[in-house]
Amino acid sequence: MAIFDTLGISGSGLMTHRKWLDAVSDNIANINTVNPTGQDAFQERFVVAQAVDYGTGNGGVRVARVEFGDAEGRMVYQPDHPLADDEGYVKYPDIDLGDQMTQLMMAQRGYQASLAVVERSTNMYQAALQLGKG
């Protein structure tokens, strides 16, 4: 394990959690996006993370893939909406705000933990450099 692997590993965690936060924020921002019934609803995004070289000490984490939610959405009766069909229905995404808030908190905590590792590692490396000066 190289001396600066800690920064690389925690940096990969920062990147992955940032992408997770981006996906959750897009989901929340589009929770009230309305489409006509003939179109797909907004599809929520799920970030799937994967360990890189797990157990070796030099891997980290990366985004393995992004999965999308159900394009079918949910039908809502709103006859006065300009996008309503002949029967008065429009299509909303099937996104649960409570679930998105939970995802947001988990991604935020992971980001904060990775950032704390970067800060502590930087302080440790700076302290080691100060020892070399004396």
Q: How far apart are CA 96 and CA 41, in angstroms?
A: 14
Q: How many CB atoms lie within 10 A of CB 52?
A: 14
* 6 Cα distance to chain centroid: 22
pTM: 0.85
How do the domains of the chain map onto residue ranges?
Answer: 5-126
Three-state DSSP state, 2: coil
DSSP string covering 34-58: -B-TTSPPPPPEEEEEEEESTTSSS
Tens digit of pLDDT for each residue in 62-98? 999 999 999 999 999 999 999 999 999 999 999 999 9
Tens digit of pLDDT for each residue in 106-118? 999 999 999 999 8
Token pair belonging to 103: 């995802």
pLDDT confidence band for 3 (50 / 70 / 90): low
**Mean pLDDT, range 95-105, rounded to an integer:** 96
Token pair belonging to 69: 């939610």
**Mean pLDDT, range 109-131, rounded to an integer:** 89
Token pair belonging to 105: 């908190």
pLDDT confidence band for 6 (50 / 70 / 90): confident
